[in-house]
Structure 1
């Protein structure tokens, strides 16, 4: 096996992986989970941050 055959084989395998990932991403059975993940940044999260009460107030310091 020479170097060009190895390069061609790797190129074909990488293209096959690309096509496989493309088909997986566009398959109908994954649509619901991808739609839910797409709406996640717009979700209304009303819970406070875990350490919101422990942040020191640096604006009222008496340093000059």
Structure 2
């Protein structure tokens, strides 16, 4: 899914990024963005804390997979 890749690319630096920051960069309605972030969290590709997310080592490995 393009949205998954876009979010992971945005947070690739392993720093915490606010949901609002991601919302400003990704053209998705809030409810859809929250669903995508929940999926990424359930798959252990991101950590979520206090309205912010950051990529995990598993998420970084996902980005390295060939297309």
TM range (shorter): under 0.3
Using CA pairs under 8 Å that are at least 6 residues apart, name the structure with larger relative contact order, 1 or 2.
2
The structure richer in helix per residue is: 1
TM-score by length of 2: 0.25
TM-score by length of 1: 0.26
The structure richer in strand per residue is: 2
